[in-house]
Chains A and B, each alone.
Chain A
Amino acid sequence: MALLELRNVIRRFGDFTAVNNVSLSIEAGEFFTLLGPSGCGKTTLLRMMAGFDVPDSGQILLDGQDIANTPPEKRPIHTVFQSYALFPHMTVANNVAFPLKMAGVASAEIEKRVEKALEEVQLSRFAHRFPHELSGGQKQRVAFARGLINRPRLLLMDEPLGALDAKLREDMQRELINLQKEVGITFVFVTHSQDEALALSQRIAVMNLGQIEQIGEPSVIYGHPTNRFIADFIGKINLIAARITQVSDKTMTLEINQLGTTTLPLKQDIKSGDQGVIAIRPEQVAVHALAKQVEIPHAYTGKVLDFLYVGDVTTYVIELDSGIRIEALLANSSPGRARFFEVNDPVIVSWPQEAIQFLLDQP
């Protein structure tokens, strides 16, 4: 049985449906992420898991028990808030001790456990400081220590890394993965950052307009997005209009806008005449100097329109002769790369067949 299961959960605010018929199940010990743009309903879903909000219909099952109407203090579920929500009038030690006090743990025991918890997050020296005397990273570690001290079944996190600067965020991401492995508690993480979701999660649920678009492992979500929204939202991607012209037992033939035809293995539910896009990740696109003159299948000539050098990689925008623009991501360490391309350099662009994904236009 899944640890937490949502069945047909709906939540409306007036005319607006924030969460529209969401069903999902989260296994014990999992690092699960709800990913989506702001306003997609991910935070509302998290608040219903925590008990701050009640679904209009549907069930929220914890170990098979419906907890949709159980108040937050009665759920073995804790939350780490984006703002950390530390109690400003209490010391670090008292903040961390709070859940134990509420649970009626003996004070000698509380002292011992708080000491140990602060040691684990390297904050023993700060036990008697107040939250406003801590840095952002320290506050966050206190919030995690407080959320985990009485071993909840589930730890919910609402964009907890959002307020940290980039460098610290990466460190915290690593710490978070290790923390989750150590404590073995199920984490449910909410974020709008696809990088964070891909880096941290064992499974990701991509949300849009109150619904779940796709649930899967990060590599599946990134490599095989099931629709145009996901392809566009997760990472950068080239989208070119295409139409299915022919379908056989095992293959489908596409006519790509201005770029000729290609044949790919047949995908489910595709029929002749279907409209959609082909999606190709920028890092799958190869760029060659025109002078090379090698025979490459599915190669197109064009010129460099623009590029962005960011150190480890360079992103090129290339305009093909047909007028279509393609983004290509080239690692600056790639072997055989003799030189950078400059604006207006003539180039040949190609991609392997298996990099092409056909995605249907959404109705």
Chain B
Amino acid sequence: MKRTNLTLWLAAGLVYIFLYVPLVIVVIYSFNDSRLNAEWVGFTLDWYYKLFNNQEMLLAARNSLIIAVSASLLATLLGTMAGLAIHRYRIRVLPFLVFAPIAMPEILLGVSLLLFFLQILNLTLGLVSIIIAHTTFCVGFVAIIVRARLQGMDDSIFEAARDLGATPWQTFRLITLPLIMPAVVAGALMSFTLSIDDFVITFFTKGIGEPILPIQIYTMIKIAVTPEINAISTLFMLLTLLLIIIANRLDSGILQEGKKS
């Protein structure tokens, strides 16, 4: 008994070490006063200072934020609608159509979107094409979360609203939307994090001359892994972590309420 426990802890510990030590190293070296990622010299904020003076990098960050915000808003709107539709109309093919892009290899999605934009829509690649691409793969995630929320709820609540005099629109505004709000917000945050660090699909659907953060980082690494990259990675990590914590909070809120009702 004791022995299995020990092995279990050891295995778990190793998993977490492999997961988090590289991240911790990146954070530590972003404050290292040396060009080399080899030894600790002293504490500095130089790399962050350099980062905020790097025009190309700032532009990339700005572009990525524009894309992530637009794509997550669009995906939240469409995904919520899809989640509601999947829950309400039991059409077998509907969930498949909405959720398939989640399971699809990104490379496949990237290539097919590229062909679609160029050959069918005749779209000039740029921010718009990336926003559309990101929206397509985020919709499924929002829909899944919203549907899960609806599945945990008693459908007669919505019937009760109609029964007591609410029109379909009033029922949505006063009952459905407030009740699914935690799922909608969680879906939006999830879409944002998925969009801001997406590489593969962005790589295929981006235009020339518009730097996008993950691709910009990759381009810099090709030359050398500078502490500046550590700095941007740290900031990036912080933002993602924050969003994950918020989404998680909302999600556990959903579970709690589910248990109560």
Contacts and interface: CB of A to CB of B under 8 A. Distances in A.
Interface of A: 50-52, 71-73, 77-79, 81-83, 85-89, 98-99, 102-103, 131-132, 146-147, 150
B160 to A, nearest CB: 4
Contact of A81 (B159, B167, B178): B159
Contacts of B157: 85-88
B160 A89 contact: no
Nearest to A47: B159
B161 A87 contact: yes
Given A77-B163, A78-B163, A85-B154, 6 more contacts: A72-B159, A73-B165, A85-B159, A87-B157, A88-B179, A98-B165
Interface in B132-178: 154, 156-157, 159-167, 170, 175, 178
A355 B261 CA distance: 49
B163 A73 contact: yes
B90 to A, nearest CB: 13
Nearest to B179: A89
A73 B161 CA distance: 8
A71 B179 CA distance: 23
A139 to B, nearest CB: 10
Contacts of A78: 163-164
Given A85-B160, A88-B157, A132-B260, A73 B179 contact: no
A78 B166 CA distance: 12
Contacts of B163: 50-52, 72-73, 77-79
Contacts of A79: 159-160, 163
Contact of B164 (A52, A83, A146): A146
B39 interface: no
Contacts of B166: 73, 98, 102
B178 A89 contact: yes
B156 A83 contact: yes
Contacts of A82: 156
Contact of A87 (B167, B170, B175, B257): B175
A42 B196 CA distance: 54
In order of increasing CB-CB distance, the 3 nearest A-B pairs are A102-B165, A85-B160, A132-B260
A50 B165 CA distance: 11
8 contacts: A52-B162, A77-B163, A78-B164, A81-B156, A87-B160, A88-B260, A102-B164, A102-B165
Contacts of A72: 159, 162-163
B172 to A, nearest CB: 13
Contacts of A98: 161, 164-166
B156 A85 contact: yes
Contacts of B165: 73, 98-99, 102-103, 150
A103 B167 CA distance: 11
Nearest to A146: B164
Nearest to A79: B163
Contacts of B261: 88, 131-132
A131 B165 CA distance: 20
Given A81-B156, A85-B154, A99 B164 contact: yes
Given A71-B162, A73-B162, A88-B261, A83 B154 contact: yes
B164 to A, nearest CB: 4
A72 B159 CA distance: 9
A72 B165 CA distance: 7
A79 B166 CA distance: 13
Contacts of B257: 88, 132
A102 B169 CA distance: 12
A75 to B, nearest CB: 8
A296 to B, nearest CB: 55
Contacts of A102: 164-166, 170
Contacts of B175: 87
Contacts of B167: 73
A50 B161 CA distance: 12
Nearest to B153: A88
Among B157, B160, B178: residue with most chain A CB under 10 A:
B160
A153 B157 CA distance: 21
